[in-house]
Structure 1
Amino acid sequence: MTAEPADDTRSRILRAALDLFAEHGYQRTSLRQIGERLRLTKAAILYHFPAKEHLLAALVEPLLSDLEGLLDAAEELPAERARQAVLEGWVDTILTHRRPLGMLFHDIAPITRGDTYHRLMRISMRAIDVIAGPQAGRRERVRAVQAVAMCSDPVVFFTDVSDEVLRADMLDGVRRLLAAPVDTAGAGPRRRPGRPRALDREQIEAARRMYASGEHSVDAIAAALHVSRATVYRHLQQAGPTNETV
């Protein structure tokens, strides 16, 4: 029997580690447990990852690399296009790496002790600079910090929401934040009560895809997007006839 390629063993270790970290948490998962799941010795794990912290860093690396690539490309664009590229690209990247991000949220302590944390902070600061724009003041930079959080945090708290619905909600929220006038008097922009009357482009597309799949009723789509049934139905009618009536 031929030996398993080293890359395959390394990938198997990473997949098993992510599964166990998700099940039990980083702190409560040992290298021995990872080895037992794969029928490998602890020495075999240590050959590829000299310490458990190296496993964590390797699991987070694709997320960090993708975010750095996004920022490298966005920083070559004009300010407004760069902002939009970062907002949409950040959400898409975070959604792509939902599982490792959830693991980080529940076991952030090990990350704060290493270079990975400082790298993540540098990435976040670059994103804040792009979103805030040139010559941004304190208020604009505060909003940029909030925008980065809005493009990241919901994936941890809404694990039962599909990628496309969550993407639409996250982009809608951050665009509303950045579009609202900056309140120089300290009272904040006036907020109209009730649910929003309209959906943005991403939410409309998500609603139509959900309805077309045949797995979601108009009521279910309205609940997922936090709008009225009539609002959803209006946008579905614009795309063609439906089988439901208001």
Structure 2
Amino acid sequence: MTEERRRGRGGDTRQRIQDVALELFLERGYDQTSLREIAERLDVTKAALYYHFRTKEDIVSGLLERIGRPVEELIAWGRAQPRTLETRREVLRRLNEALQDSAPVFRFLQENQAALRNREGSGYFRDRMRELGELLAEPGATVLEQVRSVSSLFIVYFGTFALDAMEGSAEEKRAALLQVAWEQIDAAHAGRAPIPGGA
């Protein structure tokens, strides 16, 4: 077996472990899931599991890396683009797509905030969302325009957690999220609407 194939199979095993661990974390919660239970669900020994992940924290780090990579790539892409409405709309579209692929991991992070609060890197996604928010805001924007820009980001991000409770197909719901987010970013870009109660 070539080294490349061996690495590929190892990567498949790591992904399978992460996927099964994520299933259990979502079913039982992070604190209530043990490495033994993960090994049993995989039908492997704990020693085989330890070869890839020594702790549950290592599994979570792998999950974060998996979903963090596309967000970091999106931030890098956005920074290299002109600061236009089209770029902002594309940032939201790409984020919506990335979240669709990673929705179970984001749900796990949301549902297990207390258990994960003190782990290293717990502010990682808060920092990434701040960076995305900076990409969406027009330099010198009014407070109202900044709120609309940030709202467009929150619609896509937090809307991901509300989709399960809504009726409609997954495609319809994600398209609706993106449409509402685009409406907010369009309004932020157009700006100039008076703030209610403002002078």
TM range (shorter): 0.7 to 0.9
Displacement of 1:140 in angstroms is: 2.6
CA deviation vs aligned residue, 1:105-144 (integer Å, no higher than 9, x gap): 2112344323433221221111101111222343332222
Alignment match, 2:52: 48
Q: 1:187 to 1:174 in 2, by over 3 A?
A: farther
Distance of 1:145 and 1:43 partners within structure 2: 46
**So what's the TM-score if we normalise by structure 1?**
0.67
Distance of 2:51 and 2:143 partners within structure 1: 48
* Structure of higher CA gyration radius: 1
Distance of 2:106 and 2:125 partners within structure 1: 12
Alignment match, 1:186: 196
Displacement of 1:61 in angstroms is: 1.7
Distance of 1:74 and 1:116 partners within structure 2: 23
**So what's the TM-score if we normalise by structure 2?**
0.81
Equivalent residues in 2 for 1:74-85, closer than 5 Å: 74-80=78-84, 81-85=86-90
**Farther-moved stretch of structure 1 (68-77 vs 172-181):** 172-181
Number of residue pairs matched by the alignment: 185
Distance of 1:157 and 1:120 partners within structure 2: 18
Q: CA RMSD in A?
A: 2.3
SS in 2 for 1:26: coil
Distance of 2:154 and 2:14 partners within structure 1: 32
Q: Unaligned regions of 5+ residues in structure 1, if any? A: 189-246
Distance of 2:138 and 2:119 partners within structure 1: 30
Distance of 1:185 and 1:133 partners within structure 2: 17
* More helix as a share of residues: 2
Q: Unaligned regions of 5+ residues in structure 2, if any? A: 1-5
Displacement of 1:161 in angstroms is: 4.2
Paired residue type of 1:51:
T
SS in 2 for 1:121: helix
Percent identity over paired residues: 29
